[in-house]
Amino acid sequence: MPDILVIGSLNADLVVRAPHFPQPGETISGEDLQVIPGGKGANQAVAAARLGASVAMLGRVGQDNFGDFLLDNLKSNKVDSQLVQRDAASTGTAIIVVDSNGQNSIVLSSGANGKVSSADVHRASFPAGGLLLLQLEIPTPTVLSAAQRAKQNNMRVVLNPAPAKEIPAELISLADFLIPNESELGLLTGLPVTDISSAEKAAKRLLERGAQNVIVTMGGKGALVVSGTQVTHVDTYKVNVVDTTAAGDAFIGGFAAQLLESDSLLSNVQEQALVLQKAVRYGCACGALATTKFGAQPSLPTKEEVEKFLE
């Protein structure tokens, strides 16, 4: 039984590099189109698997060439894909423009991802003691159903509330680890998030709404860990940024893999805090490394690459 279950999206990323984002009505020249495996769910599954975790993925793809492509990619990365169904809808796609600074602009077409249902969730096994990774590129009722099932089966829930949208209060309260970026944190709380101090204030608002631990990913400013027992800022690592597309997913895959490896079920509160900081620091390293390569899943580091980087 895999230690990590990811329920989420699988997309074919259609990526073009361009000198800048086009303005309304503007046509610009870009480089050759690349088709790259992506989707926040699949990215996080592959990220954790490359770091040595045992991972299963639940989702949907179409009965098209993109669906074949994405399933083959999961298998080649040692992700268990038995719970990924083929759907009459087209495979989810993301149209991504990456500018000369490595920043990205994305248009999503959900396709089969929009058909992932609570019935799919109830057909799956939820490994006790494992981690469930969730995002918001599949229907919110399905995400809520998955979190509820996880709690019934003694699994811890890692919720990445992305893309940013309003979510039910119950879903926030079911998250053991809620991992938004700054803009997502601002949308969830209605508070401005511009720096570490304002991020801390907003994160505490989510603790009041039932989240156990809030980890705010802040790009070049690192990450902020806020729980009932600690507020800790973890610096990121300085690298030459090429493409930020998969940085957040690399962080979450690394965080989850390291959390399992460190055994976060320690009873001592002080030890738990240290384990959480260690997992966040490892996630920051994974996120930083992912920005040094082009594309979503091609940029996700292996365990060996992270260990070498941290030396």
Phi-psi region of 44 (alpha: psi -120 to 50; beta: other; left: phi over 0): alpha
- For residues 92 and 263, give the distance between their C-alpha atoms in angstroms, rounded to a whole number: 35
Angstrom distances, CA of residue 128 to CA of 7, 8, 29, 159, 299? 16, 19, 51, 17, 31
Which of 70, 73, 110 lies closest to 93, judged by CA? 110
Residues 6+ apart with CB under 8 A from 41: 6, 7, 8, 9, 10, 57, 59, 133, 135, 137, 138
Which among 3, 80, 176, 249 is annotated as catalytic? 249
For this structure, is 249 an active site residue? yes
Torsions phi, psi for 9 (to 5 deg): -95, 150
- For residues 181 and 164, give the distance between their C-alpha atoms in angstroms, rounded to a whole number: 9
- For residues 93 and 110, give the distance between their C-alpha atoms in angstroms, rounded to a whole number: 7
Task: Identify whether the C-beta of residue 216 lies closer than 8 Å to the C-beta of residue 226.
Answer: yes
For the chain, where are the E strands, in sequence order?
A: 4-7, 11-17, 34-38, 55-62, 80-87, 92-98, 104-109, 131-134, 156-159, 177-178, 213-217, 223-227, 231-234
The two three-digit tokens of residue 104, written as one number: 């990205």
Active site residue ranges: 249
